[in-house]
Amino acid sequence: MSSETKQILTTDGIPLEVSLKKAERKNKIKAFLLVAPLLLFLIITYVFPIGDMLFRSVDDKMVTQMLPKTFKAMETWDGQELPEEEVFAAFHEDFIKLVEDKREGKLSTQLNYTKNGFKSIIKKLRRASKKFEEGNYKEQIMAVHKRWADVEYWRAIQRRAPEFTGQKYLKGMDMYVNEEGKIVSVEEDRRIHRVLWLRTLEIAFFVTVFCFLMAYPIAHLLATLPMKYSNLLMICVLLPFWTSLLVRTASWMILLQQQGIVNDFFVGIGLVADDNRPEMMYNKTGSYVAMTQILLPFMVLPLYSVMKTISPSLMRAGKSLGGTPFVAFWKVYFPLTIPGIGAGCLLVFILAIGYYITPALVGGASGTLISNQIAFHMKSTLDWSFASAMGLMLLSGVLVIYWLYNKIVGIDNIKLG
């Protein structure tokens, strides 16, 4: 049949495809061996730790393992009335073991995350449990503190039974599972995370806009100036890259503080009164100014690399065909820079959304971002699972933006250089 392609053989009679694969196999193995050390390094130092860290955000085995017998006994409990004696007995047994291992403090911390008020009653229970008699633990434990007789607290313990939990994610959205098992928002005066998320998005968005507005003319100049000037300008753009981030942020602190250079200048030219110097640091302004300056090169470079490829004759053609300089720019030049704009904006936005040191130093209370909150939980409260939950939420946010970008502009249109 003519439609059937005949198998092509090499001169030795081996099918061509087999022969080709054989010839390429060696190269493939070589290539793999070359990248293998790096691959291994990445798996050990990057994939594994990050996976482990992200796993912590849903891992809730700790309480499950501390109170195994209790949770077993609770399986039949419907959660309406106070549990039966066997649950109390199992809880007592688990608790005595924890006291022996001196781990009851951890239990109290963990249970306190679920419901406030566990810390003191567990301390009391520890003291009282030394004098407990055998049998009838329900009576004895309920006598320690009236909360032990409250069914709410037993429900709180029951909620910690599963090995995995999504409650850290809910907490990141200022929500929690209430006593009835419904997902509800926390009281309004305790909602801190939502504000932070919104502020993070807002600051990242405006930093991106400012960077774009400032970088576009710079990149255009870079791409069109004669070599000797453009090199100098390029060095000016790159110079901040070669300076430590901390140094740059610190210099903004010097510039922006109330007795700083910028304020002195404003007073000097009579823009503001000496006794009414504006606060430009430890608020959003500080974050905006410093982050825009620091992230500017990330916008300039992709824009520059795209503009460099646009032939000046295109603008000339636009003008010679009768377009005013603005029309030639808007209809011809600008559309051609969109890949650079996309790349720059995506880069700056993603970097800004996870920015940490600069807002921590110049942002003050109203200029900090979600990453500062993550750091706070990593370093101060040591609630790593919460920190990693928020980290994953941030990561998914970035992925969503990336996906949206791909839908709207197309990721093939991106050009980083």
Which residues contact another protein by CB under 8 A? 311, 313-314, 316-325, 327-328, 331-332, 335-336
Q: How far is the CB of 324 from another protein (least distance, A)?
A: 6
CB count within 10 Å of CB 93 equals: 16
> Which element (helix H / strand E) includes 292?
helix 284-308
Nearer to another protein by Cβ, of 242 and 326: the residue is 326
Question: Residue 415 CB, nearest distance to another protein (Å)?
Answer: 13
Closest CB to another protein among residues 270, 335? 335
**Of 76 and 309, which CB lies nearer to another protein in the complex structure?**
309
Structural element, H or E, at residue 176: strand 175-177
Q: Are strands 175-177 and 183-185 parallel, antiparallel or unpaired?
A: antiparallel
- Least gap, CB of 234 to another protein (angstroms): 24
Helices first, then strands: H and E counts in the chain: 21, 2
CB atoms within 10 A of CB 255: 19
Which CB sits closer to another protein, 2 or 313?
313
In the complex, minimum distance from the CB of residue 335 to another protein, in angstroms, rounded to a whole number: 5
Which residue number, 198 or 327, has a Cβ lying nearer to another protein? 327
Q: Give the integer Cα–Cα distance in Å for 208 and 288.
A: 10
Given the complex with another protein, which of 97 and 319 has the nearer CB atom? 319
Report the nearest approach of another protein to the CB of residue 22 (Å): 38
Q: Quick one: CA dihedral 334, 338, 343, 349, positive or negative?
A: positive
User: Tokens in use for 231?
Assistant: 């090199």
Count of C-beta atoms within a 10 Å radius of residue 15 = 12
- In angstroms, rounded to a whole number, what is the distance separating the alpha carbons of residues 248 and 266? 22
| Closer of 132 and 329 to another protein (Cβ) | 329
- For residues 380-393, b (16+ Cβ closer than 10 Å) or e, as one string? eeebbbbbbbbbbb
Q: Which two tokens stand for residue 17?
A: 């495809």
Euclidean distance between CA atoms 73 and 67, whole angstroms: 10
328 vs 369, beta carbon nearer another protein: 328
Nearest to 288 by CA among 296, 276, 300: 296
Measured CA to CA, the distance from residue 253 to residue 274 in angstroms comes to 19
Q: Considering beta carbons, is residue 10 or 309 the nearer one to another protein?
A: 309
What minimum distance in Å lies between the beta carbon of 333 and another protein? 10
Contacts of 55 (CB under 8 A, 6+ apart): none
Taking the complex as a whole, the smallest distance from the CB of residue 330 to another protein amounts, in Å, to 11
Of residues 170 and 409, the one with the C-beta less far from another protein: 409
Separation in Å, CA 393 to CA 254, 383, 407 = 34, 16, 21
Instruction: Output the CA–CA distances (angstroms, integers) from residue 331 to 294, 317, 351, in the order listed.
Output: 31, 12, 30
In the complex, minimum distance from the CB of residue 295 to another protein, in angstroms, rounded to a whole number: 28
Task: Give the whole-angstrom CA distance, residue 53 versus residue 38.
Answer: 21
**Smallest distance, another protein to C-beta of residue 228, A:** 14
* Residue entry with tokens 């609630």: 383
**Smallest distance from the beta carbon of 314 to another protein, in angstroms?**
5
Whole-angstrom Cα distance, residue 118 to residue 29?
Answer: 59
